[in-house]
């Protein structure tokens, strides 16, 4: 392959031959070479000039093209930057400037400094229903220090805190305080080892196995933020530390103690429950039914005792009770409309004490659930009818008819949100915390909640009860349920979201005029 220098030699030789060929052959060789050299030099100068002109023109074209390309690239980059800025702006709008907002940042700081340690304290020191003595004392002290007017001992161990802040609606925010008779096996470093003696004199292990420690901690955080933001709302705030939610009796006890007579009666009532089956920090605001009704029922079945080898000489209450248990399921499957919800569960069956003795009594303990007041009464009346019918089919005389007792204490109607208020609260949360924080999941059970008494029809109080997720998304499939000894909540995102949503909701209902 010829190199550039090879072509140069050939060109020079060609030019020399051409130059020499046009001269007088008689001229001396030196003269002829000198003339040829001048001719070549002139030719090279001319060629060099042409090349320079061509390069200058090409360079101008390249620069022009580069400038044009640079302009296009800059324009594209500017457009991309504008698009990114618009996207960030939209995202910021959706989040309501949440990460940089004063409220969000203040709650984060409060969790680090106060709420985190307070949660651990409450978790390690749970107390049974109606025995929340130290819990209520600590809750009252925390809120009193924030400038609220605090009253203890309402309806037992209930706490009521009031903060008046000008004209406007009255909003009540409730948190339940009680733990459960469960021995904790969560593996948490701050797991409860507490025990407590109940009203029967029996000692039980106690655990916050339903997240009420999250609720009362969040109530303190909410109290602090509302007190520090009095220039942003107008009205009266009432905070409630409620006893005995697990016995579905504490709300009614506070009302019977004059909650709505001796303290400002709310126009609106708010509460939330942390949910182990929801992702941490996510929020659901139901528009109607929130929780089912619940009624505890005891059935005392009597019989005629005899020797186990001679059942014909008595009437076996174990058999009678067993038939009652089976037949009760027909009340749900065959007497209420199939599109209505209802549950009758026999949770305890106690009878007999010896292998070869047919006893004379059995005690059944039931829970009854529904979402409709009419269905509720239909189920309860069905229990009465089935119990008597089965007993008579076994030949029990009138004086030995079973006794059916509906608990006057462990009973609550369905909890139903006020639709318009729930929509207002949800929109306020969406505007401030972003749409991505909202979550929805179909109900899978018929849990009950005595918050229903605070917003029962006829009282004129519009209620909103929402849920806040408490389990990391990656752990949802294996998360232990409520009331389990393995139950645990991711506290920080749950408490922070609970406080933020509560503050936003309260302020939306008590806007500054």
**Which of 218, 127, 136 minimizes the C-alpha distance to 181?**
127
pLDDT (tens digit per residue) in 134-191: 999 999 999 999 999 999 999 999 999 999 999 999 999 999 999 999 999 999 999 9
> pLDDT-derived band of residue 223, with 50, 70 and 90 as boundaries?
very high
Q: In this predicted structure, which of 24-33, 255-264, 286-295 has the lowest mean pLDDT? A: 24-33
Question: Which one-letter DSSP state was computed for residue 112?
Answer: I
| % of the chain with per-residue pLDDT over 70 | 81
* pLDDT at position 479 over 50: yes
Judged by DSSP in three states, 288 sits in coil
* pLDDT at position 270 over 70: yes
pLDDT of residue 101: 74
Which CATH number fits the domain that encloses residue 265? 3.40.630.10
Identify whether residues 222 and 342 lie together within a single domain: no
Query: Which is higher by pLDDT, 244 or 79?
Result: 244
* pLDDT at position 133 over 80: yes
Mean pLDDT of 61-81: 57
> Does the residue 85 lie in any domain?
no
Partner residues linked to 379 by β-bridges: none
> Does the residue 88 lie in any domain?
no
Identify whether residues 236 and 304 lie together within a single domain: no
Measure the CA–CA gap between 476 and 490, rounded to whole angstroms: 12
* pLDDT at position 71 over 80: no
Mean pLDDT of 377-395: 98
Residue ending a domain, among 70, 85, 113, is 70
Mean pLDDT of 221-236: 98
Q: In this predicted structure, which of 11-20, 164-173, 443-452 has the lowest mean pLDDT? A: 11-20
Active site annotation includes 450: no
Identify whether residues 252 and 312 lie together within a single domain: no
pLDDT of residue 90: 47
* pLDDT at position 50 over 90: no
Question: 181: domain range?
Answer: 102-292+414-509
* pLDDT at position 487 over 70: yes
Measure the CA–CA gap between 244 and 449, rounded to whole angstroms: 11
Identify whether residues 107 and 240 lie together within a single domain: yes
Identify whether residues 238 and 336 lie together within a single domain: no
Task: Yes or no: say if 369 and 357 are a contact pair by the CB < 8 Å rule.
Answer: no
Identify whether residues 211 and 228 lie together within a single domain: yes
Residue ending a domain, among 411, 428, 447, is 411
**Which of 340, 248, 354 minimizes the C-alpha distance to 305?**
354
> Does the residue 77 lie in any domain?
no
Residue ending a domain, among 46, 70, 94, is 70
Which CATH number fits the domain that encloses residue 380? 3.30.70.360
Average pLDDT, the chain: 89
> Does the residue 481 lie in any domain?
yes
Identify whether residues 161 and 217 lie together within a single domain: yes
> Does the residue 93 lie in any domain?
no
> Does the residue 81 lie in any domain?
no
Measure the CA–CA gap between 82 and 74, rounded to whole angstroms: 12
Active site annotation includes 245: yes
How far is C-alpha 421 from the chain's CA centre?
A: 19
Give me the catalytic one of 110, 132, 176, 178: 178
> Does the residue 86 lie in any domain?
no
Identify whether residues 404 and 422 lie together within a single domain: no
Mean pLDDT of 107-135: 98
Mean pLDDT of 318-325: 98
Identify whether residues 374 and 387 lie together within a single domain: yes
Query: Which is higher by pLDDT, 98 or 234?
Result: 234
Identify whether residues 399 and 418 lie together within a single domain: no
pLDDT of residue 94: 42
* pLDDT at position 402 over 70: yes
pLDDT (tens digit per residue) in 406-436: 999 999 999 999 999 999 999 999 999 999 9
Identify whether residues 418 and 377 lie together within a single domain: no
* pLDDT at position 100 over 50: no
What's the domain count of the chain? 3
Q: What angle do CA 187, 190, 191 make, to 5 degrees?
A: 50
Give me the catalytic one of 132, 213, 245, 410: 245
> Does the residue 75 lie in any domain?
no
Identify whether residues 163 and 259 lie together within a single domain: yes
């Amino acid at each position: 392959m010829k190199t550039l220098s090879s072509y140069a030699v050939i060109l020079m030789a060609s030019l020399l031959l051409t130059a020499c060929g046009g001269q007088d052959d008689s001229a001396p060789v030196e003269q002829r070479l000198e003339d040829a050299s001048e001719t070549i030099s002139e030719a090279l100068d001319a060629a060099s000039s042409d090349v320079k002109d061509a390069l200058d023109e090409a360079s101008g074209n390249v620069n022009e093209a580069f400038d044009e390309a640079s302009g296009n690239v800059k324009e594209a980059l500017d457009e991309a930057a504008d698009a990114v800025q618009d996207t960030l702006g939209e995202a910021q709008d959706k989040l309501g400037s949440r990460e940089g907002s004063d409220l969000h940042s203040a709650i984060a700081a409060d969790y680090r400094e106060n709420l985190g340690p307070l949660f651990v304290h409450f978790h390690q020191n749970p107390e049974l229903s109606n025995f929340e003595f130290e819990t209520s004392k600590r809750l009252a002290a925390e809120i009193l220090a924030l400038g609220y007017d605090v009253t203890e001992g309402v309806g037992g161990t209930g706490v009521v805190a009031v903060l008046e802040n000008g004209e406007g609606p009255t909003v009540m925010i409730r948190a339940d305080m009680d733990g459960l008779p469960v021995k904790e096996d969560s593996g948490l470093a701050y797991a409860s080892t507490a025990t407590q003696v109940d009203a029967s004199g029996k000692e039980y292990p106690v655990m916050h196995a339903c997240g009420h420690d999250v609720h009362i901690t969040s109530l303190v955080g909410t109290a602090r933020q509302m007190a520090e933001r009095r220039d942003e709302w107008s009205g009266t705030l009432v905070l409630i530390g409620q006893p005995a939610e697990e016995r579905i009796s504490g709300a009614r006890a506070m009302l019977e103690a004059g909650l709505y007579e001796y303290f400002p009666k709310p126009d609106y009532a708010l509460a939330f429950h942390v949910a182990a089956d929801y992702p941490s920090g996510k929020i659901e605001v139901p528009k109607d039914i929130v929780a089912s009704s619940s009624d505890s029922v005891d059935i005392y079945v009597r019989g005629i005792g005899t020797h186990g080898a001679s059942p014909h000489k008595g009437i076996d209450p174990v058999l009678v009770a067993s038939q009652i248990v089976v037949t009760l399921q027909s009340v749900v499957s065959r007497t209420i409309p199939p599109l209505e919800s209802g549950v009758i569960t026999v949770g305890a069956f106690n009878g007999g004490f010896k292998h070869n003795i047919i006893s004379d009594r059995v005690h059944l303990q039931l829970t009854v659930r529904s979402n409709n007041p009419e269905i509720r009464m239909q189920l309860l009346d069905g229990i009465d009818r089935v119990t008597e019918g089965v007993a008579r089919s076994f030949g029990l005389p009138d004086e030995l008819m079973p006794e059916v007792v509906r608990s006057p204490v462990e009973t609550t109607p369905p909890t139903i949100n006020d639709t318009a208020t729930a929509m207002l609260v949800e929109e306020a949360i969406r505007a401030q915390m972003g749409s991505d924080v909202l979550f929805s999941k179909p109900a899978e059970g018929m849990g009950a909640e005595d918050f229903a008494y605070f917003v029962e029809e006829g009282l004129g109080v519009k209620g909103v009860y929402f849920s806040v997720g408490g389990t990391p998304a990656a752990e949802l499939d294996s998360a232990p349920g409520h009331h389990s000894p393995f139950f645990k909540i991711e506290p920080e995102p749950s408490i922070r979201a609970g406080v933020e949503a509560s503050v936003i909701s309260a302020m939306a209902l008590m806007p500054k005029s």
